[in-house]
Structure 1
Amino acid sequence: MQTLELINQTLNTNDAVMLYFSAPTCNVCHALKPKLTEAVMDNFPSFIIESIDISETPEIASHFSVFTIPTVLIFFQGREFLRKSRHMSVGEVTDAIRRPYTLMVES
């Protein structure tokens, strides 16, 4: 089971992390997740993706101030870079992270 400590450890030990917050009752979450996960892994292979079910671990959602689903948080080197909630497209997320990811990988 996920804990806040494990999520923080993932953020502190990986350069690129995506946290995907959802719940079993969210149809949009389930439709978006496989498309977004595939696009991120195909374009940015260094990313670590963590899916967080807010119904099982509400304390993690609360810690990251996530109050709506789906929410995607993108972290580079432990710092939050991007936050998208509810209405987002796969292209919107991948376009936003392309440049900083490329700079991080090339340096």
Structure 2
Amino acid sequence: INQTLNSNDAVMLYFSAPTCNVCHALKPKLTEAIMDNFPTFIIESIDISQTPEIASHFSVFAIPTVLVFFEGREFLRKSRHMSVGEVVDTIKRPYSFMVES
């Protein structure tokens, strides 16, 4: 994960678990919206039931949780209640600045 964060300008970490119905409903919609709007984004899915140490490292204690990183720095953290549109709208402007540079 750290290598992905350090070698890509735009990364989204999606934390979920097999028992989370909201996680499974949200993930395909969010993934599609990110790929449609921000083609250079790298999306990593983390199953906290298999790798709880990664969730702990990023201080993720609720699922689903989305972390968005620009140039290795955390820009956005959303947990539980989020909409696809809200996530897309929040990252649209900083992403456009990053792509232009």
Q: Answer whether TM exceeds 0.5 for this pair.
A: yes
Give the corresponding residue for 1:31.
25
1:19 equivalent to 2:13? Answer yes
Compute the RMSD of aligned alpha carbons: 0.1
Mark the runs of 5 or more structure 2 residues left unpaired by the alignment: none
Moved beyond 2 Å, runs of 4+: none
CA deviation string 1:35-93 (max 9, x = no partner): 00000000000000000000000000000000000000000000000000000000000
Mark the runs of 5 or more structure 1 residues left unpaired by the alignment: 1-6
SS at match of 2:67: strand
Give the corresponding residue for 2:55.
61
State the TM-score, normalizing by the size of structure 2: 1.00
Aligned residues: 101
- Alignment equivalent of 1:86, drawn from 76, 80, 89: 80
Give the corresponding residue for 1:102.
96
AA at the equivalent of 2:85: G
CA deviation string 1:5-41 (max 9, x = no partner): xx00000000000000000000000000000000000
Q: Distance in 1 between the 2:29 and 2:92 partners? A: 17
AA at the equivalent of 2:79: S
Q: Distance in 1 between the 2:19 and 2:96 partners? A: 35
